[in-house]
């Protein structure tokens, strides 16, 4: 029939009462929908409704208890309320999918209750033909409405919650960009909702910052709509913008490629790089660009560092760091964070499947590096270890070396295996290339086509850090 703005359910009902033919209303956080007919009831925790029950003047208001109705004065779907009123105009019952009711008589309505952690109460007293309702309190917000005969006025609903310096709130944070715990950037949009895209039922995290943090931690979430001291809606798509004074919004400033998820800030070290391979260092760097580059190289994880650098690795680092440490602006987009000084903003390719890799460890063995072999006619590891040439794997080579008591062992040229008691000379490590596959140790094992067994004059060397496999 008509859609208008109303800061409270009471004002929405007043709008219906003053419009001929209106018999029902639905109020959703500042938006009031007037209806000319009462259709089939649909459960929706975000909606407060009221329907016309009599159009003749009356000195008392009554409603029968049917499990979902109560008198005007309900301040939210998760509240308990009581109200009394005297009116010479139309009477309405308000409803919510979670509110139960008691019978209303002699101008008094008592106690409609919902099961929720948020509790509010409202009382109203009547004198002659004037009714005033006050002290309607829900958590930290207060709303007051007064009415006389068939006209009504109401103050706007406001929040008395005062956020600390470490929290975000509206309208003070409007237009600001904040970082979530995993380092993703969100733009605060006070009074803006986005159509559709809800990712399941709303949650009640208790604060705007916690709502944004939930989105940051949820793969695929790109936007939130939060009601102060109320529900938090996570959204998987960014629909059209809708002005709504009751909504605190925050949207992801830049989405990652499909299948890529943020995994937070992690420490790095110059002495032992967290990720072995540097994909590039350039002025176009962003988390999305870096993730795509590492995906093309076959890596599951990617990390941006110091604004310009992109690193790739096979496993999620265990060296978690504070989100604030990854605060360097990306060279390709100053609105995004790209790590920091020896700090990596890490992403994961959630669709990654193992294709070809250099095994990092096996039992007590750990990968050392890719070494050159047959330099000046000498073997890097001097003893040939026999394994089946047709079914060679790194594991079989290392087991054979362990059986002979070797501390160092290496695979080469699809199926060859070599062992030794002493560490190979550092000068024989393929220089300037941390990734053994890029160093030439990229021949597939004859017994496992997904893992590397060295290369041509390239020995993939492992060190036994324990006493047994």
22-31, 236-245, 257-266, 430-439: which has the minimum mean pLDDT? 22-31
Q: Give pLDDT tens digits for 133-192.
A: 333 333 333 333 333 333 333 333 333 232 332 578 999 999 888 888 877 888 899 999
Tell me how far apart the terminal alpha carbons of the chain are, to the nearest angstrom.
76
372 neighbors 458 (Cβ within 8 angstroms) = yes
Q: Are 307 and 264 in contact (CB under 8 A)?
A: no
pLDDT tens track for 67-124: 333 333 333 333 333 333 333 345 666 544 333 222 223 232 322 333 333 323 333 3
Cα 341 from Cα 321, distance rounded (Å): 12
State pTM to two decimals: 0.42
Instruction: Find the mean pLDDT for residues 47-52.
Output: 85
CA distance 137 to 74: 10
Tokens of 306: 């110091």
Work out the average pLDDT over 441-457.
Answer: 93
Question: Strand 458-464 vs strand 408-412: parallel, antiparallel, or unpaired?
Answer: antiparallel
Note the pLDDT tens digit of each residue in 371-388.
Answer: 999 999 999 999 999 999
């Amino acid at each position: 029939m008509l859609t208008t703005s109303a800061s409270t359910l009471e004002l929405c009902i007043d709008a219906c009462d003053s419009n001929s033919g209106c018999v029902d209303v639905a109020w959703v956080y500042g938006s009031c929908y007037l209806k000319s007919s009462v259709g089939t009831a649909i459960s929706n925790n975000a909606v407060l409704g009221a329907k016309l029950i009599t159009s003749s003047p009356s000195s008392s208001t009554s409603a029968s208890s049917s499990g979902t109705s109560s008198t005007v004065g309900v301040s939210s779907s998760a509240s308990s309320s009581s109200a009394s009123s005297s009116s010479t105009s139309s009477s309405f019952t308000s409803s919510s999918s979670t509110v139960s009711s008691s019978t209303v008589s002699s101008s008094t309505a008592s106690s409609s209750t919902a099961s929720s952690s948020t509790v509010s109460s409202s009382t109203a007293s009547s004198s002659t033909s004037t009714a005033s309702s006050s002290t309607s309190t829900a958590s930290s917000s207060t709303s007051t409405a007064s009415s006389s005969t068939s006209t009504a006025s109401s103050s706007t609903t406001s929040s008395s919650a005062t956020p600390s310096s470490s929290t975000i709130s509206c309208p003070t944070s409007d237009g600001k960009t904040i970082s979530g715990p995993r380092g993703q950037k969100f733009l605060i949009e006070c009074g803006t909702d986005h159509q559709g895209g809800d990712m399941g039922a709303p949650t009640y995290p208790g604060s705007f910052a916690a709502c944004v943090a939930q989105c940051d931690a949820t793969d695929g979430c790109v936007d939130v709509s939060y009601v102060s001291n109320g529900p938090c809606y996570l959204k998987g798509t960014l629909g059209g913008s809708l002005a709504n004074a009751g909504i605190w919004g925050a949207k992801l400033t830049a989405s990652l490629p499909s299948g890529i998820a943020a995994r937070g800030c992690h420490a790095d070290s110059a002495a032992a790089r967290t990720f072995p391979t540097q994909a590039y260092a350039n002025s176009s760097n962003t988390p999305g660009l870096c993730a795509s580059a590492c995906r093309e190289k076959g890596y599951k994880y990617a990390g941006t560092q110091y604004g310009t650098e992109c690193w790739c690795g096979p496993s999620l680092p265990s060296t978690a760091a504070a989100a604030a440490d990854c605060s360097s602006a990306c060279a390709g987009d100053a609105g995004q964070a790209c790590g920091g000084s020896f700090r990596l903003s890490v992403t994961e390719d959630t669709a990654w499947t193992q294709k070809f890799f250099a095994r990092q460890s096996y039992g007590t063995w750990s990968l050392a590096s890719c070494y050159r072999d047959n330099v000046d006619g000498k073997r890097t590891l001097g003893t040939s270890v026999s394994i089946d040439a047709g079914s060679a794997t790194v594991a079989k080579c290392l087991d054979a070396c362990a059986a002979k008591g070797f501390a160092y062992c290496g695979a080469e040229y699809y199926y060859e295996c070599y062992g030794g008691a002493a560490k190979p000379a550092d000068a024989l490590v393929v220089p300037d290339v941390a990734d053994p596959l890029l160093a030439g140790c990229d021949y597939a094992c004859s017994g496992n086509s997904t893992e590397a067994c060295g290369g041509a004059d390239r020995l993939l060397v492992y060190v036994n850090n324990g006493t047994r496999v």
